[in-house]
């Protein structure tokens, strides 16, 4: 009978190690976000403005970033749902599905996009791979030029797995929110009234 191998990571990071990695992470994010095509984000924003409701779907850490995005869009007054939640209704042709997958091949995310496509809903995709199955289903594709999580020998990023994609995804969706808010011009106090109060 085999047992799982467990290990306790050694704790020996110095302040110099931490400072070096802070610089590494911030510089990689800055460089990657600077390569995102703003016209692709603008096209996604246009679809947001034409949609009755917004749905988001993603797996793992990308899914967590899209949950944060859903919260911000809700603060703007949009009707937003997270795929898989127990109260999420059926998507229809007047809606927009926003999905994220670095590889563009994550099975559950691709399946969600295929369902939305069959129904006639619009689809916005964040991915590193513009020729992926997910990107081919999209009405708007935002390419994030980061390493995929399985690209362990990447020259694009020294961070583990898909960290850079997820970090850049967060920044890109925050920029999208900020741009929508600029055009909405609602005061922060109005957005705050929609903030969760059952915490």
CB crowding 42-61: b at 16 or more within 10 Å, else e: ebbbebbeebebbbbbbbbb
Q: Does 166 qualify as catalytic in the annotation?
A: yes
Q: Which of 28, 40, 166, 189 is catalytic?
A: 166
DSSP secondary structure string for all residues of 90-147: ---TT-EEEEE-SSS--HHHHHHHHHHHHHT-EEEEEES-TTSHHHHT-SEEEE----
User: Could you give the residue numbers annotated as active site?
Assistant: 166
């Amino acid at each position: 009978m085999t047992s799982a191998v467990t290990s306790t990571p050694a704790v020996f990071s110095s302040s110099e190690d931490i400072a070096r990695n802070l610089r590494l992470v911030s510089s990689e994010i800055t460089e990657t976000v600077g390569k995102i095509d703003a016209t692709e984000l603008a096209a996604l924003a246009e679809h947001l403005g034409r949609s009755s409701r917004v749905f988001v779907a993603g797996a793992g850490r990308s899914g967590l970033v899209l949950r944060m995005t859903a919260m911000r869009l809700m603060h703007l007054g949009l009707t937003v749902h997270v795929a898989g939640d127990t109260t999420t209704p059926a998507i229809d042709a007047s809606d927009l599905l926003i999905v994220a997958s670095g590889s563009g091949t994550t099975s559950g995310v691709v399946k969600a996009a295929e369902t939305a496509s069959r129904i006639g809903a619009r689809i916005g995709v964040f991915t590193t791979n513009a020729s992926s199955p997910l990107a081919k289903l999209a009405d708007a594709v935002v390419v994030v030029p980061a390493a995929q999580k399985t690209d362990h020998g990447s020259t694009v990023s020294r961070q583990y797995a898909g960290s850079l994609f997820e970090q850049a995804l967060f920044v890109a969706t925050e920029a999208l929110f900020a741009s929508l808010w600029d055009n909405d011009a609602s005061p922060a106090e109005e957005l705050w009234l929609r903030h969760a109060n059952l915490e």
